[in-house]
Structure 1
Amino acid sequence: MTILSREDIPEILKEKIRIVKSFFSGKKILVAFSGGIDSTLVLFFAKKFGKEVKGVFIYSPLTPTQEINQAKQFSTLLNIPITIYTLNSLQIREIRENLPNRCYHCKKRILDILIEIAKHDGHDLVIDGTNFSDLGLHRPGLLALKESNVQSPLAEGKFTKSDIITLTQILSLPSRNISSQACLASRIPYNTEITVDLLNKIDKAEIFLRTLIKNTTVPLRVRIHKLLPSDLLLARIESDARLIELINNRGIREDVNSNLKKMGFAFVTIDLSGFSSGSMDKIVKL
């Protein structure tokens, strides 16, 4: 049974799948693969409809450990090979200094690398997982995408985030039970210099909290703030009610406080507003 003949997929989604299929038919495809729900779906489509497919994961100091582990696991489950390319993104001044256009410069460098790899290996098409819903959000990286030759078939097919979640569940893809992801730099306020030490602290804190949650669907960010004029750090945990309820347990709360302080955070707080994607962008707008 083919995807388009499945009765459990709504006709409106089949129409969108046909648009995506037209992108891939007979082509040798390179996929920008992050292990997230969007790029996992587009990698799956590329394998189903393309002539040949290869995923490329760009690893940098900004990459959460969970993200690269997921990418390796999902590529194995999908039986699609991926290449991991290492980028020292902190060598790029605009990224290291964490300027408000950081995402543009990061995305531009990543896309340039993907295009270079595609040319070297003879791929016909370079694609990413940008979806139709992304086009209405504050995403500086979209400008870099627009300037490149990388294509976004999910956006072209008008796949919304809701469509992707629905289809991922129907197809039982390995990404069906994960929360949204973002690079570690998104936890740091703009114009605060990004260092490997800061990134490691954030990554370790999130890994620790995830061992307590034991649920990959729970959104989680450990945002940091420097308490100027000192170098003391405040950790602001963003999550949903499930983590907040967990931390209501005194023993767990003390464990979280103690462990994060050992990691280098002077103060450990919970954001009562809960998880908010792109919350650091709101600070810029104040």
Structure 2
Amino acid sequence: MLSEKYTYLKTLFAEMDRALIAYSGGIDSTLVAKLAWDVLGDRALAITANSPSLLPEDLEDACIQAAEIGIAHEVIETHEMANPNYRANPVNRCYFCKSELHDTLQPLALQRGYPYVVDGVNADDLQDYRPGIQAAKERGVRSPLAEAGLSKAEVRELARQLDLPWWDKPAQPCLSSRFPYGEEITVAKLQRVGRSEYHLRKLGWRNLRVRSEGDTARIELPPEQIKEFVLTTDLTTLVRTFQSYGFLYVTLDLEGYRSGKLNQVLQRT
């Protein structure tokens, strides 16, 4: 089944002839970039959008991965923070983010002669609350992974089969997703969340979130890792480090990490 989807993906890219990839460096868009390069070669271009909602270390990773794949890669600046609708962080914040991204990419694609802009949306994403997907659709963006019906698990498996060393890379959505809806997003808040998550990564914790609620940081880890975290982490030093980034309080979510957890508030309205 996966082999048939792989064949279909290669056919999709061959029919496009030239494609510009909205490339974040996550495993979904990395797989898309790999497929585009394999089929189209120098007729494919990967573009990464840099903004305060992207950790500098994640941008560096994206550049390294693109270089290893071999695909042409460029970094552009996007300015979603200039949009008050985005900063206000409504439930459809992601719509304004992706609108800014694709309103920037589409003219670039036309100027460079790329008839298609493609992203890394997969079939599972279509089952979640992702208002950014609508913004992309409105602008004619294609989602090859979703078109081929690849789930997240299949994305990782295909990436593994294609020898992509990042096949098990934890998901890293933009830092704005760490805030409860309605809490204003600022550059300073994004930076303190990003520094906090990067600090935990350096300590060896890979799959995590630092949720920001006012002056409180709430650490989310997989439930099975919570006990080890408490027993092995110098909590006093950790709290002081987070406070140096701008938080007043540091807490641990006892339920544990769950992707899209902040969306559960939408089910109560």
> Normalised by the shorter chain, which TM-score bucket?
over 0.9
| C-alpha deviation, 1:283, in angstroms | 2.6
Q: Deviations over 1:133-181 (max 9, x none)?
A: 1111111111112212111111111111111111111222132231011
Name the structure 2 match of 1:257: 239
In 2: Cα distance, 1:139 partner to 1:278 partner: 10
- The CA RMSD measured in Å over matched residues stands at 1.6
Residue pair 1:205, 1:263 contacting (<8 A) in 2 also: yes
Task: Using the aligned pairs only, state the percent identity.
Answer: 34
SS of alignment partner, residue 74 of structure 2: strand
Corresponding position: 1:15 with 2:4? yes
SS of alignment partner, residue 223 of structure 1: strand
Residue pair 2:37, 2:70 contacting (<8 A) in 1 also: no
In 2: Cα distance, 1:134 partner to 1:251 partner: 34
Residue pair 1:20, 1:154 contacting (<8 A) in 2 also: yes
In 2: Cα distance, 1:25 partner to 1:199 partner: 39
SS of alignment partner, residue 249 of structure 1: helix
Q: Deviations over 1:231-280 (max 9, x none)?
A: xx011001124652443236622221121122221111110111111111
| C-alpha deviation, 1:23, in angstroms | 1.6
Residue pair 2:122, 2:146 contacting (<8 A) in 1 also: yes
Q: Deviations over 1:79-130 (max 9, x none)?
A: 2221111112110111111111111111112112111111010013211111
Corresponding position: 1:221 with 2:203? no
SS of alignment partner, residue 248 of structure 1: helix
Name the structure 1 match of 2:76: 85
Which blocks of at least 5 consecutive residues in structure 2 are unaligned?
none
Amino acid corresponding to residue 13 of structure 2 in structure 1? F
* Aligned match for 1:203, one of 185, 194, 198: 194
Which blocks of at least 5 consecutive residues in structure 1 are unaligned?
1-11, 227-232
Residue pair 1:129, 1:152 contacting (<8 A) in 2 also: yes
Amino acid corresponding to residue 264 of structure 2 in structure 1? K
In 2: Cα distance, 1:175 partner to 1:94 partner: 34
* Aligned match for 1:192, one of 183, 201, 206: 183
In 2: Cα distance, 1:22 partner to 1:66 partner: 34
Residue pair 1:94, 1:101 contacting (<8 A) in 2 also: no
Residue pair 1:61, 1:196 contacting (<8 A) in 2 also: yes
In structure 2, the CA distance between the partners of 1:242 and 1:65, relative to structure 1 (3 Å rule), is: farther
Higher radius of gyration, 1 or 2? 1
Q: Under a length normalisation based on structure 1, what TM-score does the superposition of the two structures give?
A: 0.88
Q: Under a length normalisation based on structure 2, what TM-score does the superposition of the two structures give?
A: 0.94
* Aligned match for 2:13, one of 24, 47, 52: 24
